[in-house]
Chain A
């Protein structure tokens, strides 16, 4: 595998969880909810997906569990931000703290004392095209070929998508037109949460086959930045995910270059985060946030 195709293949691989997370977060934010629960949802999806796969011996059960965790997280966010109309920042951070705590708690209960780290045999690489760049996990194929077009089509071309955008842009008008603001927002949060859960499970069920503490390492926050970078458009968000993943793949390989051996690899590891912030600065001027962003809706 040449250097270029190696980097490109790794870019697609690294972008996969970000694509799930970014598309999921886009749904929440388009409905008017900033979901800071994403970091915790991805973390819990990664752990409980792994736990279910490990105990049942089935990767599919793991994946379904991650989806269920994501749906649950969406409902929790819905109760807090839609039904109760609480501050979205605090509700999201609380959800993240709670889910990370719950996953670490369960991890401690389930795997304490075991000398060897628990592992599973993860999803294999699909290699049907004979092109090395396209030797990818099935979850990567699904992300790019199914989730992205489907999510775009639903959001932009269906009634549900129209409703989601309407309740995020102008809930009063949507309500007057007979759209249930609450139901639509719950639905968007649940779709978003399910995608985030799957994005987290990618790490344990496909990429690693095991669970480690701090496995998400701020990638949920990266997805939030990517949504803004993408100006709440799915296509642009995916481009952002590819950019982050490209820088990430590149820094892993830069470490192997002898003349860079003196540079602490952590500095290179920080590079993708810094690049995302820089991209926000470059693209972030005069961004039009969804009209109802951060605002709870209550009928007058």
Chain B
């Protein structure tokens, strides 16, 4: 290996402040450079493509509001993932929790025909929360009582939740009028109202902001939040300090599942008005991107979900205008996730490139 330039990470004397501030913009620039190849492969001009992706959605009232519509489920799932990760609970199951929340919300929405509007809407949102929490319960119990890795169990329940949706839609819930695999429409009094005229922006956006606000307050300003952050940083130390880590994890997992479940309710009652097998386009997984990009802070979740909402709307128009498959947005999401975690490392470590001194025995290299 002599002669090869070895890349190592060396600890900085102090975390690089400038990188802390620059990490957001830098992440975006690096990600777009890394994904250039895909734009070229699609035969598009990168500058035009990225302008369509990022800038164009911000240039008209209609697309700007569509950005908020796309950001709505991500606000929920991003907050759900962030709060769990903060407590050291690796909930990778927001996707499944969202789907089960959507099922429960659809059930409620088709059974509250005569109720007053406020009651019906509350019932739908509440059912979504309960559905999501129920789906989060088993992995949380297994983690707390049996020490079974929640990453695996929450992941495995995602495909099961999707099968539950398609099973219902192909079976008992198949629409009796259209015979399509889609549920009946929920009753009109249960549908979330539009909050601005001539747009699809609905009550779910407001609910999401309220939840993010509450979580921000609880995390930063209450003793529960302090305990939660403490157990996330070091469960052993938290336990030593007398914090009931098990109960805290259980509570956080259920809260996280409930918020993801409301995301499902919000998509059913605010956008689709019925359950379909495409009710989520990976919002649960994108929530992980949102939470990580946002540095697991609630303010960060808002910014990151708006940015990804922008990207989703941009991807649709890039597909139509430039023939760049809208799946580019998914590639960018994955790349964003990888770039941001790598860049965050560089805040505390710097890269050094050097040629190892020739000759001598090289001690086990460990960059």
Report which A residues bind B (CB closer than 8 A).
34, 36, 40, 76, 79-80, 82-87, 89-91, 93-102, 104-106, 108-109, 112, 171, 174-183, 217-218, 221-222, 224-225, 228, 264-267, 269-270, 273-274, 276-277, 280-281, 284-287, 297-299
Taking the complex as formed, is B123 at the interface, i.e. its CB lies under 8 A from any CB of chain A?
no
Could you jot down 27 A-B contacts, CB within 8 Å? A36-B155, A40-B334, A79-B342, A80-B342, A83-B9, A90-B337, A93-B288, A99-B334, A101-B327, A102-B38, A104-B325, A109-B325, A112-B325, A180-B364, A182-B366, A218-B159, A221-B156, A264-B167, A266-B166, A266-B167, A266-B170, A277-B157, A280-B142, A280-B148, A280-B152, A284-B142, A286-B147
Chain A residues, Cβ within 8 Å of B236: none
Q: Which of B172, B288, B332 contacts A90 (CB 8 A)?
A: B288
Q: Write the B316-350 contact mask toward A (1 if CB under 8 angstroms, else 0).
A: 00000000010111111111011001101100000
Interface size on B, residues (CB 8 A): 55
Task: Evaluate contact between B334 and A86: CB separation under 8 angstroms.
Answer: no
Would you list which residues of chain B between 205 and 229 have a CB under 8 Å from chain A?
A: none
Q: Which residue of B lies closest to A226 (CB)?
A: B152
Task: Evaluate contact between A181 and B285: CB separation under 8 angstroms.
Answer: no
Task: Evaluate contact between B334 and A101: CB separation under 8 angstroms.
Answer: yes
- Identify the interface centre among A94, A178, A183: most chain B CB within 10 Å of its CB: A94
Chain A residues, Cβ within 8 Å of B29: none
Chain A residues, Cβ within 8 Å of B90: 89
Report which B residues bind A (CB closer than 8 A).
7, 9, 38, 41-42, 90, 92, 138, 142, 146-149, 151-153, 155-160, 163-164, 166-168, 170-172, 285, 288-289, 292, 325, 327-335, 337-338, 341-342, 344-345, 363-367
Measured CA separation A267–B342 after assembly (Å): 41
Chain B residues, Cβ within 8 Å of A222: 156
Q: Which of B148, B164, B292, B330 contacts A104 (CB 8 A)?
A: B330
**Whole-angstrom distance from the CB of A176 to the nearest CB of chain B?**
8
**Whole-angstrom distance from the CB of B181 to the nearest CB of chain A?**
11
Chain A residues, Cβ within 8 Å of B163: 266-267, 269-270
Measured CA separation A232–B285 after assembly (Å): 27
Chain B residues, Cβ within 8 Å of A98: 331, 334-335, 337-338
Q: Which residue of B lies closest to A34 (CB)?
A: B151
Chain B residues, Cβ within 8 Å of A224: 151-152, 155
